């Protein structure tokens, strides 16, 4: 019984030192302070985790990469090869590679001062939004920004850095969709030519038993392998972000 009491006392002391700690994030409710209560902090954390996939898909290169890879698979005519899991995994790792400098800037400018208590959560959010804004501004089109400024009746700022995330994020999504579709069309054209040639040959010799798409698929895959297509596509996607 004495050992059990000592163990319980040690556990209570450890819990007091790590007051309301959850996964390394302190959930502390200080009396007389303006901090959020523990239940509200948990709700905020769960909300952030819920919308995190949508944020990753919307404000990162993940959007352009997945669109291009989808067009590439459709152009090859391989149906479900590579699978969705493989394409999404590849897009996710490429996104992490491209976004690593931005994430590190957000961490140093926002999270570290907030964790040390130097700034509040509002100031931390503003500091963290600056590197993200700089990244979005590099790839957003002026036409898309103007569209959302007009729709929201927001006056145009004097500097691009003064644009809010509510304008930059949807404009960035539209810009990335257009860029992804443009790259997809360029990828589609060589394989479309192969389909047309094979279809013309099969019709001219009267071979109507097999669909032309089935006959052209091996030629398209062979061409893609011979030119080292995956290296070219992934390299072009990465360079499109680093050279902009």
CA distance 160 to 215: 51
DSSP structure string for 74-117 = HHHT-TTSS-HHHHHHHHHHHHHHHHHHHHHHHIIIIIHHHHTT
Strand, helix or coil for residue 204: helix
- Integer angstrom CA distances of residue 161 from 73, 105, 135, 213: 37, 16, 10, 49
SS percent in the chain: helix, strand, coil, step 5: 75, 0, 25
Q: How far is CA 231 from the centre of its chain?
A: 21
What integer pLDDT is reported at residue 3 of this predicted model?
33
Per-residue tokens: 137: 């501004």
| 145 pLDDT higher than 70 | yes
Residue with tokens 């030519």: 193
What integer pLDDT is reported at residue 148 of this predicted model?
86
- Looking at the chain, the whole-number percentage of residues with pLDDT higher than 90 is 2
> For 60-69, 108-117, 137-146, 149-158, which range has the lowest pLDDT when averaged over its residues?
108-117
> Cis link prior to 82 (omega < 30° from 0)?
yes
What integer pLDDT is reported at residue 44 of this predicted model?
74
Per-residue tokens: 157: 């700022």
What integer pLDDT is reported at residue 212 of this predicted model?
66
pTM for this entry: 0.72
- Looking at the chain, the whole-number percentage of residues with pLDDT higher than 70 is 81
219 compared with 10, residue with greater pLDDT: 219
What integer pLDDT is reported at residue 20 of this predicted model?
42
Across the range 85-99, mean pLDDT stands at 89
What integer pLDDT is reported at residue 25 of this predicted model?
43
* pLDDT tens sequence across 108-138: 877 777 777 777 777 777 777 788 888 888 8
Across the range 141-146, mean pLDDT stands at 87
What integer pLDDT is reported at residue 18 of this predicted model?
41
* pLDDT tens sequence across 170-222: 899 899 999 889 988 888 888 888 878 887 777 777 766 667 667 777 888 88
Across the range 145-173, mean pLDDT stands at 83
CA distance 140 to 135: 9
How confident is the prediction for the chain on average, in pLDDT? 76
CA distance 208 to 203: 7
């Amino acid at each position: 019984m004495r050992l059990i009491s000592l163990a319980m006392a040690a556990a209570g002391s450890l819990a007091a030192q790590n007051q309301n700690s959850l996964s390394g994030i302190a959930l502390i409710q200080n009396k007389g302070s303006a901090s959020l209560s523990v239940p509200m902090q948990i709700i905020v954390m769960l909300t952030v985790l819920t919308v995190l996939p949508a944020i990753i898909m919307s404000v990162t290169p993940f959007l352009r990469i997945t669109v291009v890879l989808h067009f590439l698979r459709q152009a090859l005519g391989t149906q479900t090869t590579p699978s969705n899991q493989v394409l999404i995994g590849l897009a996710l790792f490429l996104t992490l590679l491209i976004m690593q400098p931005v994430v590190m800037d957000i961490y140093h400018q926002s999270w570290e001062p907030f964790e040390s208590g130097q700034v509040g959560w509002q100031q931390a959010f503003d500091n963290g939004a600056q590197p993200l804004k700089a990244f979005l501004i590099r790839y957003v089109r002026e036409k898309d920004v103007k569209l959302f400024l007009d729709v929201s009746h927001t006056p145009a700022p004097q500097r691009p850095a003064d644009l809010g995330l509510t304008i930059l994020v949807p404009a960035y999504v539209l810009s990335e969709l257009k860029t992804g579709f443009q790259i997809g069309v360029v990828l589609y054209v060589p394989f479309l030519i192969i389909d047309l040639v094979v279809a013309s040959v099969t019709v001219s010799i009267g071979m109507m038993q097999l669909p032309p798409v089935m006959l052209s698929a091996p030629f398209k895959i062979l061409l893609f392998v011979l030119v080292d297509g995956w290296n070219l596509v992934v390299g072009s996607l990465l360079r499109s972000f680093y050279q902009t």
